[in-house]
Structure 1
Amino acid sequence: MNPVSVRVLLVRGMLAGLVAGLLALVVAYLLGEPRVDAAIDFEEAHSHDHGVELVSRSLQSTAGLATGVLVYGVALGGIAALAFCVALGRIGRFGPRATALMVSMGSLLAVYVVPFLKYPANPPSVGDPDTITKRTTLYFLMIALSVLLGIAAVILGKRLAPRLGNWYATVVASAALVLVIGLAYAFLPAVNEVPKDFPATVLWQFRLAALAIQCTLWAAFGLLFGHLAERVLTPRTAPDRQSGTATRPAAPVN
Structure 2
Amino acid sequence: MNSTVVRTLLVRGMLAGLVAGIPALIFAYLVGEGPVDAAIAFESAHSHHEAGGEELVGRSLQSTAGLATGVLVYGVAVGGIAALAFCFALGRIGRFGARATAALTAVAAFGAGYLVPMLKYPANPPAVGNPDTLDKRTALFFLMIALSVLLTTAAVLLGRRLAGRLGNWNASVAAGAAFLAVLTVAMVFLPSGENVPEGFPATDLWEFRLAAIGVQAVLWTAFGLFFGYLAERVLEPKPTGQRVSTLAA
% identical aligned pairs = 67
Unaligned 5+ residue runs, structure 1? 248-254
Alpha-carbon shift at residue 237 of structure 1 (Å): 2.4
Counterpart check, 1:3 vs 2:3: yes
| Matched AA of 2:145 | I
Q: CA deviation at 1:195?
A: 1.7
Give the secondary structure class of the aligned counterpart of 1:189.
Answer: coil
The Cα of 1:55 is off from its aligned counterpart by 1.0
Q: State the distance in 1 between where 2:246 and 2:229 align.
A: 18
Tell me, what secondary structure is at the counterpart of 1:8? helix
Question: Which deviates more from structure 2 when the two are superposed, residues 174-183 or residues 45-54?
Answer: 45-54
Corresponding residue for residue 77 of structure 2: 75
Are positions 1:99 and 2:94 aligned together?
A: no
The 5-angstrom pairing of residues 1-254 of structure 1 reads 1-49=1-49, 50-52=51-53, 53-238=55-240, 239-242=243-246
Normalising by structure 1, we get a TM-score of 0.93
Query: What is the CA-CA distance between 1:196 and the residue it aligns to?
Result: 2.0
Separation in 2 of the partners of 1:51 and 1:163?
67
* Partner SS for 2:167: helix
Q: In 2, Cα distance between the equivalents of 1:166 and 1:241? A: 42
Aligned length: 245
- Measured in 2, the distance between the counterparts of 1:35 and 1:28 equals 11
Q: Is residue 160–residue 171 contact of structure 2 (8 Å, CA) maintained in 1?
A: yes
What is the rounded CA distance, in whole Å, between the counterparts of 1:98 and 1:116 in structure 2? 26
How far apart are the structure 2 equivalents of 1:25 and 1:146? Answer: 26
**Range that drifts further, 108-117 or 190-199:** 190-199
Any idea what the Cα deviations from partners look like across 1:16-72, whole Å, max 9, x if unmatched?
101100110000100111111111011111113234412111111111110110000
Q: Deviations over 1:188-236 (max 9, x none)?
A: 0112221221111100000000000000001110011011111111111
Distance 1:154 1:228 in 2: 25
Q: Give the SS at the match of 1:143.
A: helix
Question: Quick one: distance in 2 between partners of 1:101 and 1:233?
Answer: 15
Alpha-carbon RMSD: 1.3
Separation in structure 2 between the aligned mates of residue 114 and residue 66 of structure 1, nearest angstrom = 25
Counterpart-to-counterpart distance in 2, 1:130 and 1:232: 48
Distance 2:103 2:52 in 1: 45
SS in 1 for 2:191: coil
Q: Which secondary structure does the structure 2 equivalent of 1:134 belong to?
A: helix
Cα offset, 1:129, TM superposition? 1.3
Equivalent residue letter for 1:12: R
Q: 1:76 is matched by which residue type in structure 2?
A: V
Q: Distance in 2 between matches of 1:179 and 1:74?
A: 33
Q: Which has the larger radius of gyration?
A: 1
| TM-score between the two structures when normalised by the length of structure 2 | 0.95
Q: What secondary structure is seen at the aligned counterpart in 1 of 2:56? A: coil
Residues 116, 186 of structure 1: alpha-carbon distance in 2 compared, 3 angstrom cutoff: same
For residues 33 and 68 of structure 1, what CA distance do their matches in structure 2 show?
14
Residue 199 of structure 1 aligns with an amino acid whose one-letter code is: P
